[in-house]
Structure 1
């Protein structure tokens, strides 16, 4: 028997339960991992609440990121062995492959031997933020050294990963945040500029920073009214990559800016990378090299023990964190 996290009804963090189940052995091309740490993601809160892109059959497990030690390998698995220290590429379905558990099963193709210099918490905090940011900025936007890139929700784990990736390729990262409380903390990991929404008019400030050329790339998980000032600040031929919808307000379509500047609006899921073996290999190489040379470094805000899953999800939804929330198992 092993302990896993499940929910039997949709709702707030309180619906999460730790239960004992009898986990079957790994099947063909699968591995089982004895989990040491888990990375938390907002997608997991959305699944739990019943508002995610995936609809689970209840009761359902959840979770996208884990790090630990391979305990058992299934038939057909090569290049991996029991005892290997590994981390997990987020699966396309966390309902099919849930990560919240003491012992979990994943396809061998999603398993990465992580650098031995990483501790368990850091290893569990890598793949979702860095794959998400890499796919948007490098694969889709082709971000380069002459570019200004606006990163909203910049204090999230994905936002911080995007700042680091922008710096790695020589681009100028402009972090957008709600209050001035996190200004210095955003400058420290490499934001060239920080725009505080409560204190500054967004379009005006972005115009001051980027000048007449405007901002070529916008990376946004918020949507809502922010769309209009963002597109107003963009350069001709610019691209706005939308990977979320955190705003509860309507999102106006900025038709004059889109037409006048021939802008591209790209709805984006990390599955564009994880579902494409060639792109995934390129992303893994970029990220692992960045971890090795120190240009990429996950920022962990707070760590919870496995038994405090409800408290960890409450904190996840507080929007107070700076970086990644991790659970130790």
Structure 2
């Protein structure tokens, strides 16, 4: 038996319960780890509320990221052994392979031996953020040195990873955040400039910052909603806006004039595009591990909670107060 966190109905953080369940042995091609840290993501809260792209059967587990020590190995698994210290690339289905547990099972191809210099907490904060940002900026947008990239929700774990990736590429990250309390922290995290959307006009500020380039070619956004108008108005001809979220509770307008007059691309994106493609995933792992090794990539952890504090952790997740990743430790 092992303790896991599940929910039996959709709703707020209070629906999360710690339960004891029987642990099945890992199947062929699977690896079972003793979990030491769990990374929280917005997707966790969306699935708990019943608004995620995956609709699970109830009761359901949760979680996409974990780090720990390999405890058991399924048939056919090579290059991994019991006792390896590892982290987990987010699976396509968190109901099939949930991370919220003392013991968790994942496909072996999603298991990464993480550098010994990383703590379990840092290792659990890597893959969703850096894979999402890498796939969007490198694979899809082909961001180049000296190019400007606008990053909304910049204080999120993905936003901060995108800032670091842009800097490693020699690009210029402009962070967009809702209030000024995070401005200095974003600058210290590597943003070249910061726009506070509650106090400044996004279009005007972006145009002024990118006048020499004729506007912003690449925009990374998880919000949608009314932001589409000022963002696309400040983009350059042939620019691309990559949408990977949809956090706004307001309708998202289609900026027809801006799209037509500038030949813009509005591109929906899921990290699953990278995770399910072995060639793209191998390239992403190599890039991310290299950035960790040279110290350019530094997962920023906002706050840690214990396993028993999962309800409080989800409340904090939905407070929008965090700067970086929220991690559960065991």
Shorter-chain TM-score above 0.5: yes
Q: Secondary structure at 1:68's aligned position in 2?
A: strand
TM-score in terms of structure 2 length = 0.99
**Separation in 2, partners of 1:186, 1:45:** 25
TM-score in terms of structure 1 length = 0.99
Residue by residue over 1:275-302, the C-alpha shift from the partner in whole angstroms, topping out at 9 and shown as x without a partner, is: 1000000000000000000011100000
- Which consecutive segments of 4 or more residues in structure 1 shift more than 4 A? none
Are residue 63 (structure 1) and residue 63 (structure 2) matched? yes
Residue by residue over 1:202-235, the C-alpha shift from the partner in whole angstroms, topping out at 9 and shown as x without a partner, is: 1000011000510000000011111000000000
Partner of 1:266: 267
**Separation in 1, partners of 2:25, 2:282:** 28
Give 1:189 deviation, angstroms.
1.2
Q: Secondary structure at 1:18's aligned position in 2?
A: strand
Give 1:146 deviation, angstroms.
2.6
Partner of 1:220: 221
Are residue 164 (structure 1) and residue 158 (structure 2) matched? no
**Separation in 2, partners of 1:169, 1:146:** 8
Give 1:199 deviation, angstroms.
1.3
**Separation in 2, partners of 1:89, 1:245:** 22
**Separation in 1, partners of 2:92, 2:186:** 30
**Separation in 1, partners of 2:39, 2:263:** 38
Q: How do 1:69-218 residues align onto structure 2 when only pairs under 5 Å count?
A: 69-211=69-211, 213-218=214-219
Partner of 1:304: 305
What stretches of structure 2 of length at least 5 have no aligned partner?
A: none
**Separation in 2, partners of 1:270, 1:283:** 11
**Separation in 1, partners of 2:119, 2:85:** 10
Residues paired across the two proteins, number: 329
Give 1:316 deviation, angstroms.
0.3
Are residue 232 (structure 1) and residue 233 (structure 2) matched? yes
Partner of 1:17: 17
RMSD: 0.5
**Separation in 2, partners of 1:289, 1:78:** 23
**Separation in 1, partners of 2:146, 2:86:** 36
